[in-house]
Amino acid sequence: MLPRIERRRELDHRMFYLSPVLAVALTIVTGFLLFLAMGYDPLQGVFHFFVSPLLSGYGLAELGLKAGPLILIGVGLALGFRANVWNIGAEGQLTMGAVAGGGIALALWGVDGFWVLPLMCLAGILGGMAYAAIPAFLKARFDVNEILTSLMLTYVATLFLSMLVYGPWRDPMGFNFPQSRMFTESAILPVVLAGTRLHLGVIVALLVAVTGWVLMTRTIIGFQIRVVGQAPAAAAFAGFSRTRMIWLTLMTSGGLAGLAGLFEVAGPIGQLIPVITPGYGFTAIIVAFLGRLNPLGIIPAGLIMALSYIGGENAQVEVGTPQAMTGVFQGMLLFFLLASDFLVRYRIRLQAPGTPAAARAEAPAE
């Protein structure tokens, strides 16, 4: 009568939706105990971490603002991860997109025209793609592992941006501080919800997620990506080009990361500064997997991740917890979320095998 773990024949759809809820519940319980142990009011702690950011229109807009880049980058990365292409340098591609698009904004400083912003977006995408082309080329041509190249290039991109804003792109009226001029009106993304910072880029991110889903599930390219990832031998047999997949997925993820970078500088930042991302390129990797590499799943995953950051700030402001504690809390939330996937794919039985499936136990115990 020992509990047995069995692989489910197909995904349990109830669990598919239930398990994240269970994970959040577990985090709340553990978080409650953690706050209590550290001497903070646990009710307030949990409330400000999970609930208070959601209680106003402004708060929800901020959530969207923070989730936008995570979703945009996450969708691109998921495509690659599905095909076993490990781009972990989205952070650098984001930076290069911001450099390229922001460069256009600075070159056209003071120029009025509806075409300025689209041109910047295009430059942002191309900047990210061009930067992702380096690992793509090295992998396709010399079989150099993209984990190393894309990661190392991230540091190079940050230094490159730093060189520009400390040097030639410095605001001439800015007392030699490291920042560019503020972009002019025509180079700033329109806000879609008056009184908030929610800009057009966030809407684009959602549209990209939906498009990504259609691409993955409804098109032959999506099929090829999945086959190359899951059964490389079969893919080779079917004549799907591995090289083509490398280029396709790295260009897509690089371009989307670049666009995300441009949206940051043309959106809430409004200028080029030495560091334009608080690690979105890395966080998006978690988001991609939390969303189970499904572009639609990435939307809630991005929102949860964004909430955990904003909730962390909230807890510092309202409850006075140290920032370190929010890191611990966030880590636990992710652990539970990731582990809860287990219940989707496996079942825990208390009966000997052979008894009716209805008797299966779904308790969270191991």
Partner 1 sequence: MMTRFVLTRRGFLAGSSAAALALGAGRAQAAPTRVGFVYVGPIGDYGWTHGHDLGRKAVEKAFGDKVKTTHVENVAEGPDAERVIRQLAAGGHELIFTTSFGFMNPTIRVAKQFPKVKFEHATGYQTSENVAVYNARFYEGRSVIGTIAGHMSKSGVAGYVASFPIPEVVMGINAFTLAAQKVNPNFKTKVVWVNSWYDPGKESDAAKAMIDQGADMITQHTDSPAPLQVAETRGVFGFGQASDMRAYAPRAQLTSIIDDWSDYYVERVKAVMDGTWKTHSIWHGMKEGMVKIAPYGSAITEAARADAERVRTGIIDGSVHSFTGPLVNQKGEEMLPAGQVLTDQQMATMDWYVAGVQS
Partner 2 sequence: MSSEFAFVLTLVTVISAATPLLLAALGELVTERSGVLNLGVEGMMLAGAVSGFAVTVSTGSVALGVLAAALAGMLMAFVFGVLTLSLMANQVATGLALTIFGIGLSSLIGAGFVGIPVTPLPKLHIPVISSLPVVGPLLFSHDALIYLSIALTVGVAWFLKRTRWGMVLRAVGESDESAHSIGYNVIAVRYLAVVFGGFASGLAGAFLSLSYTPMWIEHMTAGRGWIALALVVFSSWRPLRLLFGAYLFGGVTILQLYAQGAGIGVPAQIMSMLPYVATIIVLTVIAAGPWRARLDAPACLGKPFRPAT
Which residues are at the interface with partner 2 (CB under 8 A)? 4-7, 81, 138, 142-145, 147-149, 151-153, 155-156, 159-160, 162-163, 166-167, 282-283, 285-286, 288-290, 322-332, 334-335, 338-339, 341-342, 345-346, 366
Q: How many CA atoms lie within 13 A of 59 on its CB side?
A: 15
- Residues lying near partner 1 in the complex (CB under 8 A) are found at 41, 43-44, 47, 51-52, 55-59, 62, 65-66, 159, 162, 166, 175-179, 182, 195, 197, 264, 267-271, 273-278, 309-310, 313-314, 316-318, 320, 322-324
How many other C-beta atoms can be found within 10 angstroms of the C-beta atom of residue 56? 11
For the bound state, the minimum distance from the C-beta of residue 265 to partner 2, rounded and expressed in Å, comes to 19
How many other C-beta atoms can be found within 10 angstroms of the C-beta atom of residue 215? 17
Report the partner that residue 269 touches, choosing among partner 1, partner 2, none (CB closer than 5 to 8 A by kind): partner 1
- Counting every residue, how long is the chain? 366
Report the partner that residue 182 touches, choosing among partner 2, partner 1, none (CB closer than 5 to 8 A by kind): partner 1
Handedness of CA 122, 125, 128, 132 (dihedral sign): negative
Handedness of CA 158, 161, 165, 166 (dihedral sign): positive
Alpha-carbon torsion, ordered 99, 247, 78, 219, to 10 deg: 120
For the bound state, the minimum distance from the C-beta of residue 99 to partner 2, rounded and expressed in Å, comes to 13
**Comparison of 20 and 31: residue with beta carbon closer to partner 1:** 31
**Comparison of 124 and 295: residue with beta carbon closer to partner 1:** 124
**Comparison of 209 and 286: residue with beta carbon closer to partner 2:** 286
Place of tokens 């370190």: 324
**Comparison of 59 and 300: residue with beta carbon closer to partner 1:** 59
Helix or strand holding residue 103 (H, E): helix 90-107
Classified as helix, coil or strand, 289 is helix
> 245: Cβ–Cβ under 8 A, 6 or more apart, which residues?
83, 85, 224, 225, 228
Report the partner that residue 345 touches, choosing among partner 1, partner 2, none (CB closer than 5 to 8 A by kind): partner 2
Task: Enumerate the β-bridge partners of residue 191.
Answer: 199
Classified as helix, coil or strand, 217 is helix
Here the tokens at position 60 are 């929800």
For the bound state, the minimum distance from the C-beta of residue 177 to partner 1, rounded and expressed in Å, comes to 6
For the bound state, the minimum distance from the C-beta of residue 333 to partner 1, rounded and expressed in Å, comes to 18
For the bound state, the minimum distance from the C-beta of residue 184 to partner 1, rounded and expressed in Å, comes to 15
**Comparison of 130 and 328: residue with beta carbon closer to partner 2:** 328
For the bound state, the minimum distance from the C-beta of residue 317 to partner 1, rounded and expressed in Å, comes to 6
Q: SS3 for 141-173, per residue? A: HHCCCHHHHHHHHHHHHHHHHHHHHHCCCCCCC
**Comparison of 156 and 215: residue with beta carbon closer to partner 2:** 156
Which residue, among 78, 77, 61, 102, has the nearest Cα to 303 in the 3D structure? 61
Report the partner that residue 186 touches, choosing among partner 1, partner 2, none (CB closer than 5 to 8 A by kind): none
For the bound state, the minimum distance from the C-beta of residue 298 to partner 1, rounded and expressed in Å, comes to 20
